[in-house]
Amino acid sequence: MNDSVIVSDSVKKFKWIGTRPIRPDGVPKVTGRALYGADLKLPGMIYGKVLRSPHAHARIKKIDTSKAEALKGVKAVVTAKDLPEQKFEYIGPERVAVNFWHVTRNILAREKALYEGHAIAAVAAVSASIAEEAAALIEVEYEVLPHVIDVDEAMAPDAPLLFEDMVTRGMDGGKPSNIAKRLEFKMGDLDAGFAQADVVIEKEFKTAAVHQAYIEPHACVAKMEADGQGEIWSSSQGHFQMRALTAQILGVKIGDLRVTPAEIGGGFGGKTVTYLEPVAALLSRKAGLPVRLQMTREEVFKASGPTSGSSMWAKVGVTKDGKIVAGDVILKFQAGAFPGSPVMNACLCAFSPYDIPNARAVGYDVVSNRPKAAAYRAPGSPIGHFAVESVIDMCAKAIGMDPLDLRIKNVAGIGTPTIAGPKHAHAGFRETLEALRNHPGYKAKLGKNQGRGVACGYWFNGGGESSATFQLNADGTVLVATGSPDIGGSRASMALMAAETLGVDYDQVRAIVADTGSVGYTHVTGGSRVTFATGAAVVTATKSAIKELCKRAAMIWDVDPEGVVWEDGHAKPAGSNVGDFKPLSVKELAAKAAATGGPITTSAGVNAGAQAPGFSAQFCDLEVDPETGHVTILRYVVAQDVGKAIHPSYVEGQMQGGVVQGIGWALNEEYIYNSKGLLDNAGFLDYRCPVASDVPMIETILVEVPNPAHPYGVKGVGEANICPPMAAIACAIEQATGKRMTELPMSPPRLLAALSEG
């Protein structure tokens, strides 16, 4: 069982918010009847296959598709020549540095293949086996080029260049290199800060690229019509995003595409970008038939985005009494084959949990012959935190202070400046640290070869654009539709918020995820934004419905609408009308909808702001086997500021999931390349994710410090929890063995090697 603890500052009492009803998508999922991206089969549907580069780096001299096209059963063959060229310009959010000149080259390679698995061409045929056979008949003439995998090697002056004309954004002059961008953020006076320190510790770190490892591979079905209209069914974290990206890549109007979300078998950031949808649409347009395209597990590893590996240096200065006076960090991130690693996020998050007056963060975004990096749960932040939290732990040991006490002494609060510039506007960090320190396990004794490590993590959390519609059915039940794919239980959360707002029972509300033609624009399910932003849209739409219901009651009673109030799911007479009429329930008003003006349906679109950041503090107890280097996690406790837990079980699940992914990142997961730049472990057998038997039950402490900017106090909970585990585990290993591990993963061979150094 989960020893969950809820520590709450919330003073409001709710009927439904904070309860744990059975998840509405549970039965279809546990009975295997939920429909995922690869489950849809349309009449006349044919099957696509992508031909991928066998080389890490090669110039494409010629592609001959004639033999594939001649194979019986083949209906279409496409290459990059079938896609329009895109303008070279960086647009949109700086972090992802979206440049469609790059994006279209990742969808289908043009001048060069930039990594093993890079899509070169695609075919569609009447069967999957014929499609596979046809793909093998495509003849590609390559000029194999020298490759570079490691980020430090990619930054070397003599490194092979992926783009011969790429100069570094953020740096004046300079010759072309693999460094796509340099960033620097700073505050205070670093030299003066370090001069005040009694102890200054600096260290270098490396982390491996790790995959989001969602269970469901990418999959979609596209059906393009002769008139240019098209429909796509796909599994993604944002069907509006898939529609926009596909339209841009194909050069068609957004309004010509309709995208329907399938159930999604995990995303963790990796399904916010597109790989297959434009290719499937292209094949469908050429073949005149619906096309299904899906990746194998090997393709997922080789051709979809992991998060960045990194090379880092961190330096922290602290006084004898535990005041952190300066921090400095240099972060070099692998972007993969195209610019756009999450290094900016790492720069902005690394010192954010603390009140450090003098700090600097420098970031480099570096391309190398790997698949393009994609978002992964708090993208960038866990990597930077591994370095900074490790050094803070070393500082605590150097001055003889408890690592949690050191963090509490330096914790950021409302008004604390951040390296990004703005001051913190929300509380919750201190409360979270204190809740963790109060956990009875924190002072428990440890045995031989055992250690305890502490670390913290910060994530901005997201807001932004979301839409919702509210429909009252004739029997008084309610349908709430949103545009947010449900990854972490949002259908239950939306239904809970609608039920609480309307004042009806939870089982009277059904929440669904609607397609792009049936609900307003909604940004992706990512950034821990859905319960906050889409939740705000649901509450707004429900309040509009309440206003309409009061109007309908006023019509029935023949009074002014101002003479009606809404309480406990009923319209009640107010003011001079009190006591004149029997309150009307939602069901009674629904029955009179036709007579009072027609269907009761409302919608809301919001651009939700003032989201509060996420903060998590964790401790880990573990034991190291000195003979094998194997680490056993004995106990793991995660505290997190969750604002207000709408459905606590889902919140606990998010916290546990983030920690387990962090444990995998810390101990086992990595992309292993051979000397040819080819990935040697593109499967779950060799890419070792943690399984249930690898981890204990993760104990959760839900710290509720409500966000006043949300109707129910919500703060995003999906991401901050993955930031601390790597450092917490490294610190615990250090306590157990005396060895400070600075490179991930801390796998048995690497740990054994460190132990054997004596």
Partner 1 sequence: MSDAPARVVFTAGFSNRYTNGVREFEVTAKNLRGVIRAMDEMFPGLGTHLEEETTVAINGELHETGYFQTVPPGAEVFFIPRLEGG
Are 278 and 224 within 8 A, CB to CB?
A: no
Judged by beta carbon, residue 348 or residue 646, the one nearer partner 1 is 348
- Output phi, psi for 726, to 5 deg: -60, -45
Instruction: Output the six-digit token pair for 542.
Output: 């429900």
Nearest approach, Cβ of residue 643 and partner 1 (Å): 14
By the rule CB under 8 A, 345 interacts with partner 1: yes
By the rule CB under 8 A, 390 interacts with partner 1: no
Nearest approach, Cβ of residue 44 and partner 1 (Å): 37
Judged by CB under 8 A, the residue of 30, 35, 195, 414 near partner 1 is 414
By the rule CB under 8 A, 341 interacts with partner 1: no
Q: Which of residues 523-552 bind partner 1 (CB under 8 A)?
A: 526-529
Nearest approach, Cβ of residue 208 and partner 1 (Å): 18
Nearest approach, Cβ of residue 707 and partner 1 (Å): 10
Judged by beta carbon, residue 517 or residue 609, the one nearer partner 1 is 609
> Which range binds partner 1 by CB under 8 A, 78-86, 249-257, 344-352, 615-623?
344-352
Would you tell me how many other CB atoms lie within 10 Å of the CB of residue 80?
18
Judged by CB under 8 A, the residue of 57, 95, 370, 397 near partner 1 is 95
By the rule CB under 8 A, 611 interacts with partner 1: yes
By the rule CB under 8 A, 94 interacts with partner 1: yes
> Which range binds partner 1 by CB under 8 A, 113-121, 180-188, 218-226, 258-266?
180-188
Give the residue from 669, 667, 671, 664 showing the smallest Cα distance to 691: 664
Give me the DSSP letters along 614-674: EEEEEEEEEEE-TTT--EEEEEEEEEEE-SS-SSHHHHHHHHHHHHHHHHHHHHT----B-
The C-alpha atoms of residue 365 and residue 697 are separated, in whole angstroms, by 37
Judged by CB under 8 A, the residue of 421, 440, 579, 598 near partner 1 is 421
- Mark 704-723 with x for binding to partner 1 (rule: CB under 8 A) and - for no binding: -----x---------x----
- Residues taking part in catalysis: 719
By the rule CB under 8 A, 334 interacts with partner 1: no
The C-alpha atoms of residue 239 and residue 255 are separated, in whole angstroms, by 13
Judged by beta carbon, residue 430 or residue 592, the one nearer partner 1 is 430
- Mark 30-49 with x for binding to partner 1 (rule: CB under 8 A) and - for no binding: --------------------
- Mark 268-297 with x for binding to partner 1 (rule: CB under 8 A) and - for no binding: xxx-x-------------------------
The alpha carbon torsion through 496, 497, 501, 505 (nearest 10 deg) reads -10
> Which range binds partner 1 by CB under 8 A, 89-97, 107-115, 437-445, 681-689?
89-97
Judged by beta carbon, residue 290 or residue 526, the one nearer partner 1 is 526
Give the angle 385-388-390 at the CA atoms, nearest 5°.
Answer: 95
Judged by beta carbon, residue 68 or residue 329, the one nearer partner 1 is 329
Q: Which helix (H) or strand (E) holds 7?
A: strand 5-8
By the rule CB under 8 A, 423 interacts with partner 1: yes
The C-alpha atoms of residue 44 and residue 75 are separated, in whole angstroms, by 12
Kindly state the DSSP code that residue 482 receives in the 8-state scheme: E
By the rule CB under 8 A, 459 interacts with partner 1: yes
By the rule CB under 8 A, 464 interacts with partner 1: yes
Nearest approach, Cβ of residue 112 and partner 1 (Å): 27
Nearest approach, Cβ of residue 604 and partner 1 (Å): 14
Nearest approach, Cβ of residue 93 and partner 1 (Å): 4
The C-alpha atoms of residue 269 and residue 520 are separated, in whole angstroms, by 22
Are 35 and 218 within 8 A, CB to CB?
A: no
Instruction: Output the six-digit token pair for 243.
Output: 């529609």
By the rule CB under 8 A, 171 interacts with partner 1: no
Judged by beta carbon, residue 418 or residue 482, the one nearer partner 1 is 418
By the rule CB under 8 A, 183 interacts with partner 1: yes
Q: Which of residues 549-608 bind partner 1 (CB under 8 A)?
A: 607
By the rule CB under 8 A, 379 interacts with partner 1: yes
Are 267 and 236 within 8 A, CB to CB?
A: yes
Are 492 and 24 within 8 A, CB to CB?
A: yes
Please list, in sequence order, all residues whose beta carbon lies within 8 angstroms of the beta carbon of residue 310, skipping any fewer than 6 positions away.
151, 205, 206, 207, 331, 332, 333, 334, 346, 383
Judged by CB under 8 A, the residue of 299, 365, 465, 623 near partner 1 is 465
Instruction: Output the six-digit token pair for 507.
Output: 């089982």
**Longest CA–CA separation in the chain, Å:** 88
Instruction: Output the six-digit token pair for 522.
Output: 């909604």
By the rule CB under 8 A, 99 interacts with partner 1: no
Please list, in sequence order, all residues whose beta carbon lies within 8 angstroms of the beta carbon of residue 685, skipping any fewer than 6 positions away.
none
Report the DSSP pairing between strands 257-261 and 230-234. Answer: parallel
Q: Which helix (H) or strand (E) holds 392?
A: helix 381-399
Nearest approach, Cβ of residue 719 and partner 1 (Å): 6
Judged by CB under 8 A, the residue of 32, 157, 173, 415 near partner 1 is 415
Give the residue from 622, 618, 620, 619 showing the smallest Cα distance to 448: 622
CA torsion through residues 639, 645, 648, 653, sign: negative
Judged by CB under 8 A, the residue of 46, 96, 135, 541 near partner 1 is 96
Give contact residues for partner 1 (rule: CB under 8 A): 91-96, 170, 183-186, 268-270, 272, 344-345, 348, 375-379, 414-415, 420-426, 459-465, 526-529, 607, 609-611, 709, 719
